[in-house]
Structure 1
Amino acid sequence: MKRQSDFISGLAMLTGAIVGAVLSSIFGKLFDKVDAKKSVFISVEITTVS
């Protein structure tokens, strides 16, 4: 029972890491096109909403 829960939590962490890697490349390119003040404002708003 314990081994299965460890495996499932590992899969959940792996999925989160993959999604984070994909989104960081997308948002990195987006924030390169926008000036620094707007990108910080957008980041704060996203963090506040979530």
Structure 2
Amino acid sequence: MAKRVTVMIDDDLDKKIRMLQAKKIRDTEKSVSFSAVINDCLRKAL
């Protein structure tokens, strides 16, 4: 179950996450949420 959490993200990280999101959308031709990209990044990092 997902949990709503509020965090502050620096502008440079926001831009990088948005770029990853755009790449995933282009590659899969499906909708990819900002939250899904953040979750993927966190799973890989942790």
The structure carrying a bigger helix percent of its residues is: 1
Larger RCO (alpha carbons 8 Å, 6+ apart): 2
TM-score w.r.t. length of structure 1: 0.40
Q: Report the structure number with the largest CA radius of gyration.
A: 1
